[in-house]
Structure 1
Amino acid sequence: MLKYPEVKMYKWLIFLVLLFAFFIQSSCKKDKAPAVNIPVQVIPLYADSILYIKNANQNIVYPVGPAQGSYTSFPDGLKIDQSTGAIDVNNSETGLKFKVTFTDQSSGNAKTAYVTISGINYRDKIFNLAAGDSIATPIYNADAGAPIPQINNGSTFDTNSGCKNAGIEVNPVDGTINLAKSVRDQLIDTGSTQEVKLQYKINDQSREALNGLNVKIYFYRNAGEIPQYLQDILTERKTTILAAPINRFASLAAAPMAFTSAQNKPGRPRPPCIIVVSR
């Protein structure tokens, strides 16, 4: 049995051992510097963030303050010169937001910006007619909250009746698609429409230049009949469609999935994946 002085000495030794272990652990933490995650700078690369098509043979937009380096874009559909950053607006997919990244040749630093090619798109989704979800509404300039300008004053849709001839009911005034009537006009309960170009003009800074996007509607009796490849497209579009509004000065870390997809494979955002089920 330990005597009182020996007990005090034993406790004192335990205290010293614990104190020594604490200092060792603290020293190791100081030696290991925390990892620093340096985000890509998100700054304007072009004079405007929204680029409009024009009634001209060429409509090329160049970056401001050109420098030596390389340019990449995401998702697929932006016609961009990888060496100069020049964007061929008229031959790019319209109605979409793109991420453009410039990598400086001398420093290796990367800068990124968001550019929208003006026009309309439709949401990739499953529309359920039984739930009253029967209208596909156009999204203007990749912003679901942005109204289409000059309705009934120069803005017109399906100008060549291409959709109407394929049984796709597009409202010529506002560009909405009546999915219920479109499905009824196909006269079958499972299948798809033809893929046709929806041509339209918008009275905005494009000055009613002829614009367009391909449209195709898939329809089934219920969600269980939707094939896997269409479900895969819907899943992929969650990372390939850059929705607006997006703060173009935000850190790239705010959208890591989209940037990762751009590294691994091209995102193909067109035509919009419109799927209709009856129930």
Structure 2
Amino acid sequence: MSSFLVLLDFVACNKANRSETNAEKPTDPLVDSPINGNVLLNAPNQCPNGPDYGDSIIYLQPVNGQYTVSPVNNKGIAGTYLSWPEGLSLNKKTGVINVSKSETGVRYLVGFVKDGTRDTCVRQLILGGITYMDSVYIIGNNDTLARPVFNANPLTAPVCDGSDDTDYPGNNGNGNNKCSFDDDVPGSKANDQKLRVRTKNGYINLKKSLADGLFGPNVKNGDSKTIKILYSLNDNSKKAQQQISVKVVYFDKATNIPFDLQNEVEFKREDMLGYHIVNGKPRPPLLIIAGLAR
């Protein structure tokens, strides 16, 4: 059995356990669309109505207003569109994706249920952009840099140039023609909140962030911040401005990290490294700083 079919089995089992209280509100067709327990998933070769958007990776574009994409198939066929995990702004009636309102840098499944059937035809779709690997970073082991992942693929080569610890806005860093990170207005930058994001390649120096006061002078176990990073890439997105928020959490020792939080990070890492759909909520990425291992 292929990994794709295994993934479908997993999703089918997981989604069947949803209560109807989590279902999409019928009055709002532009919300994330969880699948309910009354449909069956089918692999693409068994189900030709899987939504096709013309490519496996869709990139945000620098347009005036909202950038949207529509399925190129299923014309004239009535049914309902669904997507998971959270983060895709999908019109359940037309299949139109508002890329401008969606979380980019994420791997999704998009499904279509033809009226009169219980079968969900699915296709995988990636919205191009960056994310960060959910991880525990142990400063005492010199594990200090969070690196961006491009297009939901941890092996994709970066489109950005190298950089170092001089590359921050306070040192006149403002990216270059290939990549620009943390290019928000002064006062709203991630670096203004002491999250040390390098402007040319998006690396986050967590050790420096901690030392420079990310959590203030009296950091304690469980302190956290969620911080937005604006960026643009000179790839197929044509430097369209994008954004991602990361959640940074501190513990003095890795052994003090709660078990459920460790599990969440581990499962999300496994999904990313296995090219699977992240179960649940992929954003924001969790960057956990631990001073020591134990």
TM range, smaller chain: 0.7 to 0.9
For residues 140-179 of structure 1, the aligned pairs below 5 Å read 140-151=150-161, 152-160=176-184, 162-179=189-206
What does residue range 1-279 of structure 1 map to in structure 2 within 5 Å? 40-42=42-44, 45-56=52-63, 57-66=65-74, 67-151=77-161, 152-160=176-184, 162-186=189-213, 187-190=217-220, 191-192=222-223, 194-227=225-258, 230-231=261-262, 233-234=264-265, 237=268, 245=275, 267-279=280-292
Moved more, 64-73 or 89-98: 64-73
Q: 1:220 aligns to what SS in structure 2?
A: strand
AA at the equivalent of 2:57: I
CA RMSD in angstroms, aligned pairs only: 2.4
CA distance in 1, matches of 2:251, 2:103: 28
Q: TM-score, normalised by structure 2?
A: 0.69
Counterpart amino acid of 2:121? K
- Bigger RCO of structures 1 and 2 (CA < 8 A, at least 6 apart): 1
> How far, CA to CA, are the matches of 2:253 and 2:120 in structure 1?
46
- Deviation of the 1:45 alpha carbon: 1.9
Q: Which moved more, 1:203-212 or 1:229-238?
A: 229-238
What secondary structure does 1:195 align onto? strand
TM-score by length of 1: 0.72
- The change in CA–CA distance for 1:188 and 1:229 in structure 2 (over 3 A counts) is farther
Structure with more helix by fraction: 1
**Contact kept in structure 2, 1:45 and 1:112, CA below 8 Å:** no
Specify the SS of the correspondent of 2:208: helix
Q: Shift of residue 236 of structure 1?
A: 5.9
Residue segments in structure 1 that go unaligned for 5+ positions in a row? 1-37, 247-254, 262-266
Checking the alignment, whether the CA contact within 8 Å between 1:222 and 1:278 is kept in structure 2 is yes
> What is the distance in 1 between the residues matched to 2:116 and 2:273?
33
Identity %: 30
